[in-house]
């Protein structure tokens, strides 16, 4: 019985496939993976570093600081941002309107105790502000300009004979809220009540500045001396001039400011 002869086609196909596997590497037969911009990614080299054609994804930006630029906040002025400067100001704002609680020497002293900046044993109670001012002056921390920032301690003389002098016998200390165009807005005990005030340091007396002490004129002279001799007959005599009012406005009594960040160095 005659059997059919096997077809030579399968053997020829296998031989051709073997030739192709040797002549063409497998990676050439793979499709190139497209990149985002149409450029193919290249495999990393032997040292683990990517070839020049590999593009890295950009690093993620850090999340924004939720407190950056948020203080002072008009929506929540009673809140600080954790810095000493802001906490000093918001503590002062909480005292606005309190009456009969603080004298000129005790307001900032109380804030320093509340914020754990100073202890009662650090400075004498009867000259607390004067001691702080003189320490700041000796160490170059007392600034006479009107560039007060929120939270700076602002200082005034209450001695009409020594306006603007750090060596005055009576001083007033407050906390700056803001300053713009030479106008400083502050919080301090004025009279017997913690109030907001305005000062224009270095300018002429301004009726819009806060009166931090009683505005009154000195006692007028006891009249002109009686004319003598010929002047008596002619009715001549010296005219009495009205005395000038004593300094009383915040701008007149301005001493300067101590930057908030400099306060811890004074205790």
161 domain residue, yes or no: yes
Of 121-130, 166-175, 226-235, which gets the smallest average pLDDT?
A: 226-235
Would you call 45 helix, strand, or coil by DSSP? coil
What is the average per-residue pLDDT within 98-125?
Answer: 87
CA separation for the pair 174, 109 (Å, rounded) = 10
- For residues 158 and 131, the answer to whether their CB atoms sit within 8 Å is no
- For residues 202 and 103, the answer to whether their CB atoms sit within 8 Å is no
If one counts every other C-beta atom within 10 angstroms of the C-beta of residue 113, the result is 14
96 domain residue, yes or no: yes
70 domain residue, yes or no: no
If one counts every other C-beta atom within 10 angstroms of the C-beta of residue 146, the result is 22
118 domain residue, yes or no: yes
For 179, the domain range is 84-213+246-266
122 domain residue, yes or no: yes
Q: How many domains does the chain have?
A: 1
Average pLDDT, the chain: 77
37 domain residue, yes or no: no
* Residue 181 CB partners (closer than 8 Å, separation 6+): none
If one counts every other C-beta atom within 10 angstroms of the C-beta of residue 140, the result is 8
Cis upstream peptide for 95 (omega within 30°): no
151 domain residue, yes or no: yes
Of 18-27, 88-97, 99-108, which gets the smallest average pLDDT?
A: 18-27
Residue 88 pLDDT > 60: yes
Classify strands 254-258 and 153-157 as parallel, antiparallel or unpaired.
antiparallel
pLDDT, tens only, 8-57: 555 555 555 555 454 545 555 444 444 444 444 444 555 545 454 555 56
73 domain residue, yes or no: no
């Amino acid at each position: 019985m005659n059997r059919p002869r096997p077809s030579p086609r399968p053997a020829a196909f296998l031989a051709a496939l073997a030739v192709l596997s040797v002549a063409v590497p497998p990676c050439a037969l793979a499709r190139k993976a497209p990149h985002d911009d149409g450029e193919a990614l290249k495999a990393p080299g032997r040292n683990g570093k990517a070839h020049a054609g590999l593009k890295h994804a950009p690093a993620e930006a850090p999340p924004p600081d939720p407190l950056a630029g948020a203080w002072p906040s008009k929506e929540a002025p009673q809140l600080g941002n954790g810095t000493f400067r802001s906490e000093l100001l918001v503590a002062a704002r909480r005292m606005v309107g309190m009456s009969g609680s603080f004298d000129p020497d005790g307001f900032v002293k109380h804030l320093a105790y509340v914020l754990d900046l100073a202890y009662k044993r650090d400075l004498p109670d009867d000259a607390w502000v004067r001691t702080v001012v003189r320490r700041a002056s000796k160490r170059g921390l007392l600034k006479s300009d009107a560039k007060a920032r929120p939270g700076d301690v602002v200082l005034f003389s209450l001695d009409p004979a020594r306006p603007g002098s750090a060596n005055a016998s009576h001083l007033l200390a407050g906390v700056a809220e803001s300053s713009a165009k030479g106008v400083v807005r502050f919080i301090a005990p004025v009279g017997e009540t913690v109030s907001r005030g305005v000062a224009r340091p270095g300018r002429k007396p301004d009726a819009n500045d806060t009166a931090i002490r009683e505005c009154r004129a000195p006692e007028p002279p006891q009249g002109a001396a009686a004319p003598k001799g010929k002047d008596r007959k002619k009715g001549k005599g010296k005219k009495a001039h009205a005395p000038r009012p004593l300094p009383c406005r915040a701008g007149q009594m301005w001493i300067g400011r101590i930057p908030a960040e400099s306060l811890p160095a004074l205790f």
